[in-house]
Amino acid sequence: MALPIGTVLDGKFKIVQILGEGGMGTVYKVEQIGTPPGTPPYYYAVKELLISPNTSEEDRKAAIDRFNKEIALLRGLKHPRIAALMLPFQERGNYYFVMEFVPGRSLEKILETSKGPLPEEQVIKWMVQVCEALTYIHTRNPPIILRDLKPGNIMVSLDDEVQLIDFGIARRFDPNKRTNTENLGTISYASPEHLGSITMPGQRRSAQNPGKLVQTDARSDIYSLGATMYHLLTNYEPDPIQTPPQGSVLAKNPRLRTIQLGNKTLCPVEQVIIKAMQQDPAQRFQSAEAMRVALTQCLPNAAPTTIQIPAISPSSTIIVQPVGNAAASTAGGIICPKCGFQNRAGAKFCKRDGQPLIQGMTIAPPQIRAQAARAPIQARPVQQPVQSRSIPSQPIKARPVQSNGSMQARPAQPIRARPVTTPAATDPMVAYRAGLQALANKNYTEAIRQFMLAKNQGVAAYDALYNLGRVYRQYGQSVREANPRLFKENMKHAAEYFEEALRVKPDALDARFQLGMCYRDLALYPLAMAAFKKAQATAPDDPAVYYQLGLVASEQGLTSEAVSYLKQGLEINPDHALILIALGRIYTDMKNQLPAAISSLFHATQIDPTLWEAWYELGRAHMKEKEWNHALSALRRAQKVNINSASIYSAMATCFFNLKKKSDARQMVSEALQRDPKNAEAIRLQKQL
């Protein structure tokens, strides 16, 4: 329990505000007593370690040891970008230390207030300062690894000066260790080394393949800094242990600066993020100073440059099977990281949700999919009540600063008490990571079991609920054609979990987007529209949201509304091929809009010539204009990409029939009916021929 306002500590520090509190203690803003009359008050931050009388002697000693280690670390640090330690003391049986107090806000609070990506140039300047602080601690002897770098632990003063806070889980690097004693940190920003070991891309972590033992080092903080930049510049929390694919950062924030090198358009700051977040530490920036230099080259007045990203696929992760050759590309499609839909090999946007696709993420081989289908998820596990995280791992949530002016107090370092050694069997992150791996391998039953276990063991409720929703949704998509009933049941369960996740975190964009997708798949259009409109309010610059709004409106027959949403999406990203196709399809069915339809669809074919739907719809638009030769040309391009679509052949048959080439028309009808004996257009033409 926090001490009352006005309490005096150590005879000279009066508590004036509670900055944050957690299960193991509190952080206070205090005023120094006894300052001369007429002089401004001196403020400090005091961090308290409160040990419950019910705590075991072993846990008590461990908590005190961690608290003293943090003091020892801070005592030796003197840097303008690190809050200075003043003095430790004990009172009432509790442990305290006094730190420098700096007014300001954390980047997490700034991001929450902005409700969108932060300005690129400002973010770069802040991150340059963070690199300066990291360079300082990384070059200590021995080096100090922060291990929990994230927006909430980076403070910005009123004059835009950055300071790092929370050294609660920092450690001194020991070259004689093979792995960490404790694997801690916030999972969204944690490097693969935080797991204690790393596996090669495409390999599954298991008892037989535990991976290469590693410990966190300076390059682990580099990864976390890249993940922090990703969040600040996109307003999307990074996916755990994932390297962003090329183009994904720019897709989420089209305002980022780009440069033209030859015939390529590149985003310098995106290259920095991708390199910093490589799975293999050897492929990242090897020092904070190297990353600082790269960041300075991303500023608008810097000379055009590129960051050398490793030759390995930047989208490769420890849980994704990369495409190694052309055969692999044609053997399987690309999985959408958001909805799990299987797209064609080489697709740039997910056909179902319009998200940019991760090149190199492949589907499981047919025999694995068949095995999954033979053991379907028939029923949702009994849902346990949403449980809060256990107190020992709960970070302090900073309270709103009560201030008469615009100045806000900087939350001092939160209490973060942790078990010294957590057995793997009871560590919720072990189950959580196993769930992520099982989901990536399409072992849906195991993924549900692991996420439920992680939830019951105390992993963050939102993370567990959100991923349970993902499992049910992706499994439902995998059986959509084979078992419509099972598809519908799993989609309902997915929606329930996303709804629960949103009750825990109402502003979570990803859960809101997924919920809208579930409603749309269930043809619950009013609910889908409401979900996507809330997503739109959270992310007004995300073209994928407008794509979904357009599809939902179109599927309800609201043509003008659909066109409006799709046009808004194109204002954000004029080269979004799927939006162009959707808009072209609508224009094709509208009176006097065929020229606009042809223009939109032709634009889509130029953006992605391998997108067969664009060529097919373009062919259909030309057919409406009775431009049979132009239509045939477009349909032939569609056929080259997709030789198995009956619709393409039946459309070509119609063109040949109208060109009086009945022999060719008969052949196309035959091709169409071989692929789909129920193709209505082919059956009608067969009767006429």
Euclidean distance between the first and the last CA atom of the chain, given in angstroms as a whole number? 86
Q: What is the CATH number of the domain that holds 156?
A: 1.10.510.10
Q: Which residues pair with 163 in a beta bridge?
A: 155
User: Which of 583, 507, 524 has its CA nearest to residue 551?
Assistant: 583
Q: Look at residue 213 in the predicted model and tell me its pLDDT.
A: 54
155 burial (CB, 10 Å; 0-12 / 13-18 / 19+) is: buried
State how far the alpha carbon of 203 is from the alpha carbons of 192, 273, 579, in Å.
Answer: 13, 24, 35
Let me know whether 114 and 261 are in one domain. yes
Q: How far is it, in rounded angstroms, from Cα 399 to Cα 405?
A: 16
CATH number of the domain where residue 16 is located: 3.30.200.20
Same domain, 16 and 80: yes
| Amino acid making up residue 609 | P
What pLDDT is attached to residue 398? 36
Q: Which domain holds residue 145?
A: 105-312
The 3-state secondary structure of 169-198 reads CCEECCCCCCCCCCCCCCHHHCCHHHHCEE
Is residue 177 located within the same domain as residue 253?
yes
Regions of the chain short of the pLDDT cut 70: 21-24, 52-53, 76, 166-186, 194-215, 302-426
Taking only the tens place, the pLDDT of each residue in 312-334 is 333 322 222 222 332 223 234 56
Are 120 and 260 within one domain?
yes
Query: Residue 334 gets which letter from DSSP?
Result: E
For residue 384, the model assigns a pLDDT of 35
Angle among Cα 271, 272, 276 to the nearest 5 degrees reads 115
- In this predicted structure, what is the pLDDT of residue 197? 46
Structure tokens, 161 = 């000066």
Residues sharing a CB contact under 8 Å with residue 3, sequence separation 6 or more, in sequence order: 9, 15, 26, 28, 48
pLDDT at 83: 77
CB atoms within 10 A of CB 416: 22
Nearest to 552 by CA among 537, 540, 538, 564: 564
User: What pLDDT score does 366 carry?
Assistant: 29
User: How far is Cα 429 from Cα 419, in angstroms, rounded to an integer?
Assistant: 14
Query: Which residue type is seen at 36?
Result: P
Other C-beta atoms closer than 10 Å to the C-beta of 688 total 9
Distance between CA 226 and CA 244 in Å, rounded?
10
Judge whether 96 lies within some domain. Answer: yes
Among 232, 235, 223, 139, smallest CA distance to 186 is for 223
Distance, CA of 165 to chain centre: 24
Task: Tell me: do 177 and 284 sit in the same domain.
Answer: yes
Nearest one of 576, 75, 466, 562 to 240, comparing CA atoms: 466
Considering the domain boundaries, does residue 398 fall inside one? no
Query: Amino acid identity, residue 298?
Result: C
**Contact assessment for residue 638 and residue 617, using Cβ atoms and an 8 Å cutoff:** no
Q: What is the pLDDT of residues 119-143, one digit of tens each?
A: 999 999 999 999 998 988 888 777 8
Domain boundary among 65, 100, 135: 100
Q: Based on the domain organization, do 84 and 112 belong to the same domain? A: no
Let me know: does 244 contact 238? Beta carbons within 8 Å. Answer: yes
Burial class (CB in 10 A: 0-12, 13-18, 19+), 59: middle
The residues near 596 (Cβ < 8 Å, ≥ 6 apart) are 587
Reading phi first (left if > 0) and then psi (alpha if -120 to 50, else beta), residue 160 is in: left
| Tokens representing residue 459 in the block | 């992993």
- 84 contacts 124 by C-beta, under 8 angstroms: no
**pTM, to two decimals:** 0.46
Locate tokens 């390059």: which residue?
219
Q: What is the pLDDT of residue 347?
A: 64
Has residue 688 been placed in a domain? no
* Tokens standing for residue 572: 């954000």
Q: Is 47 labeled as ligand-binding?
A: yes
In this structure, are 89 and 109 located in the same domain? no
Give the Cα separation of 541 and 321 in Å (integer). Answer: 31
pLDDT (0 to 100) of residue 297: 87
Of 77, 100, 123, the one marking the end of a domain is 100
Instruction: Give the pLDDT score at 498.
Output: 93
Beta strand extents in 107-220 (DSSP E only): 144-145, 154-156, 162-164, 171-172, 197-198, 212-213
Distance CA 195, CA 461 (A): 20
* Rounded Cα gap, residues 188 and 394, in angstroms: 16
Which residue has tokens 């179109």? 554
686 found inside a domain: no
Q: Could you tell me if residue 536 is inside a domain?
A: no
Contacts of 484 (CB under 8 A, 6+ apart): none
Q: Is residue 434 situated within a structural domain?
A: no
Residue 74 in any domain: the answer is: yes
Same domain, yes or no: 50 and 161: no
Contacts of 389 (CB under 8 A, 6+ apart): 458, 459, 460, 461
| Domains in the chain, number | 2
192 and 217 in a common domain: yes
Does 239 fall in a domain? yes
The helix-helix angle for 543-555 and 509-521 (nearest 10°) equals 20
**Residue 373: which residues within 8 A CB-CB, separation 6 or more?**
478, 479, 482, 483
167 shares a domain with 20:
no
Same domain, residue pair 261 and 279:
yes
Same domain for 233 and 271, yes or no, is: yes
Domain boundary among 288, 312, 336: 312
Q: How far apart are CA 197 and CA 214, in angstroms?
A: 5
